[in-house]
C-alpha cells in the first residue's frame, strides 16, 4: 500500500460521526443538518429537458478535453463574469468532473517531488488541499485566516524559507468557511509573489456566484491577472463548479481555466487519470453556464435566509452574514465548539460542524484558528433554517 495514505487525517464528517457516537437527537424533533455544504435548492428548470434530449450521448466515449461547445460556453461565461478579453476555449479551459477531484489532481500534476517541497493553503481549509499535497509527496504549509484580519490571507506573515520551498498555493475565494472575499489588488500581490518565487496559484472559486444580490460580485484570479498585464494568466489557474452556483452537486461538473501551458500538462495527466464528463452531463453544463436567471434566483434565496437567520442568532452568539458563500462562521458562547455541537445535536436535533475540524493546530503554539467557531451551512429550506436558529437561541438563552 502507498505509505502516504497513512498521513491522511480523518475527514471532518468522520470526526463529527465519532463526536456524536454516544448521542441520540430528540425523538420529538425533526433533525436539521447545517453541517454539510450540499445545496438543496430546486434544480434549474432546464435540467430535465436538456438531459432527456441528450441521452443518446451515453453511446459515446467522452474526450478528456470535453466537447468544443462546452468549452466555448465556459469561455464566454468567464469573459462576461470577470470582464476578460478573449479566453481561448481550446487551450485555456478544461472541463472536469467536479472541482473536488480537480483540486486534488492538480497537485499530483504540478508538484515536483523533491526534499522540502511544500504546498501552501489556508487554515481553516477544504481538506482536499491537504490530502492533495500529502499524496503528491509535499508537506502542507498553512496561512491562518484570523478574525483580526477579517478572515483574509496575510501572505506577509509567511516566512522567506517557506516561499522558497512552495510549489503550489491554494486560495479559496470567497473563503470557506468565513465567506471573506480577497480584493483584486490582494490577488495581484500574490501573483507578484508567484512570479518572484516561481510557484503556481490554484484559486478555488466555487462560491463566487453566491453573494448578496445588491452586493459586488467577488473578484476572480483571472481578472486580477489580466488587469495587471498578465493576459496569458501565467502561473494562474481557477476552479469553478456547477454544484453551488446551479444547485447541481450530483452532476459532478466544473472546469479549470487559466495558464494554457499548465492546462496542457494537466490535460496529459487527466488522459491517464480519467474522470471525463459524459456527453449528457456536458449538455446540461452548457445550458447552465449559458443561463444566469437561475443563479440570480439562487442568490436571492440565500439572501432571504441570511436576513431571517442572523437576527435570531445574534442574541446568543457572535455572528454576522458573510460577504459571500452560504456559511455562517459564528464564535460559540464559551469557546467550546465541540461541546456546542454536541449540545445542539443531543438537545435540539441540529447538526453543525466544529470549527477545529476544518483547521490544523500549530504544533509549536497549540493554536487552532478554527477552534471556538462552528460552521453552519444555510442550505436547507428557509423554514428549516429559521427553525434551527430558533432552537439554537432557545437552547442558549
Dig out the grid coordinates for 111 from the structure: 508538484
Q: Which of 278, 328, 238 is nearest to 56 (CA)?
A: 278
Per residue in 346-386, pLDDT tens?
Answer: 999 999 999 999 999 999 999 999 999 999 999 999 999 99
Per residue in 25-54, pLDDT tens?
Answer: 999 999 999 999 999 999 999 999 999 999
| Per-chain mean pLDDT for the chain | 96
Q: 113 pLDDT band (50/70/90 cuts)?
A: confident
Per residue in 364-373, pLDDT tens?
Answer: 999 999 999 9
Q: In this model, does residue 120 exceed pLDDT 90? A: yes
Q: In CATH, what number does 57-291 get?
A: 3.40.640.10
Burial class (CB in 10 A: 0-12, 13-18, 19+), 345: buried
Mean pLDDT for 194-198 is: 97
DSSP 347: I
Q: In this model, does residue 244 exceed pLDDT 80? A: yes
Residues carrying CATH 3.40.640.10, the chain: 57-291
pLDDT of 231: 95
Q: In this model, does residue 192 exceed pLDDT 80? A: yes
DSSP 348: I
- Burial state string for 146-170 with b = 16 or more CB within 10 A and e = fewer than 16: beeeebbbeeeebeeebbebbbbbb
Residues carrying CATH 3.90.1150.10, the chain: 3-42+294-396
Per residue in 316-337, pLDDT tens?
Answer: 999 999 999 999 999 998 899 9
Between β-strands 93-96 and 139-144, what pairing exists: parallel, antiparallel or unpaired? unpaired
- Report the C-alpha gap between 160 and 164 in whole angstroms: 6
Most confident segment among 55-59, 127-131, 330-334: 127-131
Q: In this model, does residue 186 exceed pLDDT 90? A: yes
Q: Are 329 and 375 in contact (CB under 8 A)?
A: yes
Q: In this model, does residue 221 exceed pLDDT 90? A: yes
Output the 3-class SS for 200-250.
Answer: EEEEECCCCCCECCCCCCCCCHHHHHHCCCCCCCCCEEEEEEHHHHCCCHH
Break the chain down into helix, strand, coil percent, rounded to 5: 45, 15, 40
pLDDT of 333: 87
Per residue in 260-312, pLDDT tens?
Answer: 999 999 999 999 987 899 999 999 999 999 999 999 999 999 999 999 999 99
Q: Are 374 and 396 in contact (CB under 8 A)?
A: no
Above pLDDT 70, what percent of the chain? 100
CATH 3.90.550.10 fits 3-42+294-396, yes or no: no
Amino acid at each position: 500500500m502507498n505509505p502516504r495514505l497513512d498521513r491522511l487525517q480523518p475527514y471532518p464528517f468522520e470526526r463529527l460521526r465519532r463526536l456524536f457516537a454516544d448521542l441520540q437527537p430528540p425523538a420529538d424533533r425533526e433533525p436539521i443538518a447545517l453541517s454539510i455544504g450540499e445545496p438543496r435548492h430546486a434544480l434549474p428548470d432546464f435540467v430535465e429537458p436538456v438531459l432527456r434530449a441528450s441521452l443518446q450521448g451515453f453511446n459515446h466515449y467522452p474526450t478528456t478535453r470535453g466537447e468544443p461547445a462546452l468549452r466555448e460556453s465556459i469561455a464566454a461565461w468567464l469573459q462576461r463574469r470577470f470582464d476578460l478579453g478573449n479566453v481561448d476555449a481550446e487551450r485555456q479551459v478544461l472541463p472536469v468532473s467536479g472541482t473536488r477531484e480537480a483540486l486534488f489532481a492538480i497537485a499530483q500534476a504540478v508538484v515536483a517531488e523533491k526534499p522540502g517541497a511544500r504546498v501552501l493553503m489556508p487554515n481553516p481549509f477544504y481538506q482536499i488541499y491537504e490530502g492533495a499535497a500529502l499524496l503528491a509527496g509535499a508537506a502542507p504549509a498553512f496561512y491562518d485566516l484570523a478574525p483580526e484580519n477579517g478572515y483574509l490571507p496575510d501572505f506577509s506573515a509567511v516566512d522567506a524559507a517557506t516561499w522558497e520551498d512552495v510549489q503550489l498555493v491554494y486560495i479559496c475565494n470567497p473563503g470557506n468557511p468565513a465567506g471573506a472575499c480577497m480584493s483584486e489588488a490582494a490577488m495581484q500581490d500574490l501573483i507578484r509573489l508567484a512570479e518572484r518565487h516561481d510557484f503556481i496559484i490554484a484559486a478555488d472559486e466555487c462560491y463566487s456566484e453566491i453573494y448578496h444580490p445588491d452586493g459586488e460580485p467577488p473578484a476572480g484570479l483571472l481578472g486580477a491577472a489580466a488587469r495587471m498585464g498578465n493576459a496569458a494568466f501565467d502561473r494562474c489557474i481557477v476552479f469553478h463548479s456547477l454544484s453551488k452556483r446551479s444547485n447541481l452537486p450530483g452532476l459532478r461538473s466544473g472546469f479549470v481555466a487559466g495558464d494554457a501551458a499548465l492546462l496542457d500538462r494537466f490535460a496529459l495527466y487527466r488522459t491517464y487519470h480519467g474522470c471525463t464528463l459524459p456527453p449528457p452531463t456536458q449538455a446540461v453544463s452548457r445550458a447552465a453556464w449559458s443561463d444566469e436567471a437561475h443563479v440570480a434566483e439562487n442568490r436571492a434565496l440565500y439572501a432571504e435566509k441570511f436576513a431571517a437567520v442572523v437576527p435570531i442568532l445574534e442574541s446568543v452568539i457572535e455572528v454576522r452574514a458573510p460577504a459571500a458563500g452560504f456559511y455562517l462562521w459564528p464564535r460559540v458562547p464559551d469557546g467550546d465548539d465541540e461541546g456546542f455541537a454536541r449540545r445542539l445535536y443531543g438537545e435540539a436535533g441540529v447538526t453543525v460542524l466544529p470549527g477545529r475540524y476544518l483547521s490544523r493546530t500549530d504544533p509549536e503554539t497549540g493554536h487552532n484558528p478554527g477552534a471556538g467557531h462552528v460552521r453552519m451551512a444555510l442550505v436547507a429550506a428557509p423554514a428549516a433554517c429559521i427553525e434551527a436558529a430558533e432552537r439554537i437561541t432557545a437552547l442558549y438563552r
